[in-house]
Amino acid sequence: MTMSGGRLADMQSAGSSAASPVLVLWDIDHTLIETRGVGFAIYQRAFTATTGRALDKKADISGRTELDIMRETLRVNGIEPADDSLRQFAAALIEGYEQARHELGTSGRVLPGAVAALARLASEPLVHQGVLTGNLREVARIKLDVFGLGSYLDLDSSAYGDDHSDRAELVAIAQARAAERTGRAFDAEHTVLIGDTPKDVQAAVAAGVRVVAVASGKSSVAELRSAGAGTVITDLTDSAYLAGLVT
């Protein structure tokens, strides 16, 4: 695979000091893994368990946080998204993923290049890896556990869809948690978001952090670049970008 757009050498010369630690925050769905329909099936079952009825209308989910998705899902199906309903919906989702571990593991998959990328960055002493995901914390943990990716990531130096409904706000949450865990500060220049949607890119731009956009989901290279990503790759097998993350 070849890099689309600006070269990674540009990232290396972006002004970062040579010995500074770097926080790399990974999106999960369509960046590291695919559930291949299992996630939506779990979502349908959770909606029914919460409301007592079948899911009629589907909310737009791409790049959004789970809090935001759950609120819209209830609303477009004629249900007031009260706090109690959201808590019940979240609990049903977590339970659904716990019960569907085998289904998820056999139907879903780790995306090409994901394990190699995580392992490569894990070998770098100046890189600290976490996640920044719209998933609920426990759902994220289950997904990463099922696919054997959790050992590469510090899930306590991460931010989740039940931390805030605005994805851009998750960046500061993850930075603060990572600083508390490591005793090192991670400023915008030394924080990198890796994700597959325009909303991932927009969150990084809003927070002022670096971003690598991966066209491994539903968004094209052109759409990701249009959202503001200077570095866009076709998938994680395009490993040239990794050198630019360690500054």
Q: Are residues 135 and 182 in the same domain?
A: yes
- Enter the tokens of residue 65: 């946080």
Mean pLDDT value of segment 105-127: 97
Q: Is residue 213 within 8 Å of residue 204, measured between CB atoms?
A: no
pTM equals 0.90
Query: Which CATH number covers residue 143?
Result: 3.40.50.1000
Say yes or no: 113 and 227 in one domain. Answer: yes
pLDDT of 9 > 50? The answer is: no
Which whole-number Å values give the CA distances from 174 to 3, 163, 234, in the listed order? 28, 10, 26
Tally of domains in the chain: 2
Mean pLDDT of the chain: 91
The pLDDT of residue 245 is above 90: no
In terms of residue numbers, what domain contains 193? 4-34+109-245
pLDDT tens across 160-176, in order?
999 998 999 999 999 99
pLDDT digits (tens, 9 = 90+) for 66-110: 999 999 999 999 999 999 999 999 999 999 999 999 999 999 999
